[in-house]
């Protein structure tokens, strides 16, 4: 059988992310996928030598437009550890709350994109309708819809008052019931299941060996979640990683659906335990040292490596993003799949290429 190469991306209607894949196909079967990334490299890691370490929080947040807050949080956590800053517990809780809201809006966005890739446009609209409710809470509490801008070295910039907290919890009930309605369609509908069940199976061993992270790893049955490390306020909150054992596209969707409700539960727990006190400490001096920070983003584990030499500019800044870790798994599941399943499979790892290329 003659082999043909079909280019997929960087501009593709199903995927707003600029990833390019050369799909080697035999008839309608994909034999091999060759990725090429680097279309939107912005050189953010190099910028650390030009910007003040406190100012750099803004740039760290802008690495990604969806998991922006957790990028800023990870950066701040790394600098705070190097500088030994006693971050107030209230700031830790507020970071946890905003981090979980960030996860909620990211997963709802993904569900919408997934429905769009399946051709289920009304479900896509409903997912994004619910996401809009989450974004309104985020805008009212932080001032931005996707770029929160509330995290800073030493704490957070804004506080959530008791009245605002009560309003958020009330709104959260409505969001939860809305989410129940839409996730029911994702998990029960025959047309959705037909497109996802048994498509792109990744076994537990493969997922582990290929170094997958986040929902892609948990869908294959590995119970690993960086929030278990107990950063921010997670050491005081009760949760179990959402896992599935099937390892197919449906399992990856089910993990994300489960994490929506887990996030709502974590936000409720965090509000119930929210301590009083300051939200930030005064930061003086410059960092001197090296640290590796790991946090759980909506897409999986992100690793930050920071090296400082006592000046106001950091010496080295390096990020390992979750999408980069999940790309080998994507290439694995694309081998032998049907050409029509490629968009669904690319979406199931929730690729965020602007993170990956920085």
- The footprint of another protein (CB under 8 A) covers 51, 55, 58-59, 120, 122-123, 126, 129, 132, 136, 139-141, 143-144, 149, 157, 181-182, 184-185, 188-191, 193
Choose among 253, 242, 247: nearest CA to 186.
253
314 - beta bridge partners?
A: 308
Nearer to another protein, 139 or 209 (CB): 139
Nearer to another protein, 11 or 122 (CB): 122
Nearer to another protein, 168 or 333 (CB): 168
Cα separation, 14 vs 350, in Å, equals 12
Instruction: Give least dist CB 139 to another protein, A.
Output: 5
Cα separation, 310 vs 289, in Å, equals 8
Instruction: Give least dist CB 234 to another protein, A.
Output: 26
Choose among 289, 106, 297: nearest CA to 214.
297
Instruction: Give least dist CB 158 to another protein, A.
Output: 8
Number of Cβ within 10 Å of residue 243's Cβ equals: 19
Instruction: Give least dist CB 56 to another protein, A.
Output: 9
Nearer to another protein, 141 or 348 (CB): 141
Nearer to another protein, 103 or 131 (CB): 131
Distances (CA, A) of 46 to 2, 75, 304, 317, 328: 45, 15, 14, 8, 26
Nearer to another protein, 46 or 136 (CB): 136
- Close Cβ partners of 243 (under 8 Å, ≥ 6 residues apart): 218, 219, 221, 222, 223, 255
Instruction: Give least dist CB 198 to another protein, A.
Output: 14
Strands 151-152 and 29-36: unpaired
Instruction: Give least dist CB 192 to another protein, A.
Output: 8
Choose among 189, 128, 200, 206: nearest CA to 344.
200
Residues 111, 256 contacting (CB under 8 angstroms): yes
């Amino acid at each position: 059988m003659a082999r043909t190469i079909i280019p997929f991306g960087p501009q593709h209607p199903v995927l707003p992310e600029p990833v390019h894949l050369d799909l080697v196909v035999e008839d309608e079967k994909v034999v091999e996928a060759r990725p090429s990334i680097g279309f939107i490299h912005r050189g953010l890691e190099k910028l650390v030598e030009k910007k003040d370490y406190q100012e750099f929080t803004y740039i760290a947040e802008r690495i990604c437009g969806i998991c922006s807050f957790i990028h800023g949080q990870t950066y701040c956590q790394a600098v705070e550890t190097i500088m030994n800053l006693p971050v107030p517990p209230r700031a830790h809780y507020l970071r946890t709350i905003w981090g979980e809201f960030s996860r909620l809006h990211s997963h709802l966005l993904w569900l919408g994109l997934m429905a769009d890739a399946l051709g289920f446009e009304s479900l896509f609209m409903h997912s994004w309708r619910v996401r809009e409710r989450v974004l309104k809470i985020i805008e009212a509490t932080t001032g931005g819809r996707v770029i929160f801008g509330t995290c800073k070295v030493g704490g957070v910039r804004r506080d959530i008052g008791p009245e605002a907290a009560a309003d958020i919890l009330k709104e959260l009930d409505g969001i939860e019931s809305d989410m129940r309605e839409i996730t029911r369609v994702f998990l029960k509908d025959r047309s959705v299941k037909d497109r996802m069940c048994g498509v792109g199976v990744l076994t537990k061993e493969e997922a582990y060996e290929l170094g997958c992270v986040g929902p892609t790893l948990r869908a294959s049955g590995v119970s690993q979640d960086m929030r278990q490390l107990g950063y921010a306020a997670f050491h005081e909150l009760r949760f179990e990683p959402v896992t599935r054992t099937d390892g197919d596209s449906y399992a990856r969707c089910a993990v994300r659906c489960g994490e929506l409700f887990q996030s709502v539960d974590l936000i409720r727990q965090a509000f119930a335990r929210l301590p009083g006190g300051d939200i930030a400490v005064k930061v003086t001096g410059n960092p001197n040292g090296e640290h590796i920070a790991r946090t759980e983003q909506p897409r999986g584990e992100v690793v930050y490596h920071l090296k400082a030499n006592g000046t106001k500019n950091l010496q080295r800044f390096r990020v390992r993003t979750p999408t980069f870790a999940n790309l080998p798994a994507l290439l694995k599941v694309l081998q032998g799949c049907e050409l029509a399943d490629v968009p669904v499979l690319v979406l199931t790892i929730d690729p965020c290429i602007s993170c990956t290329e920085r």
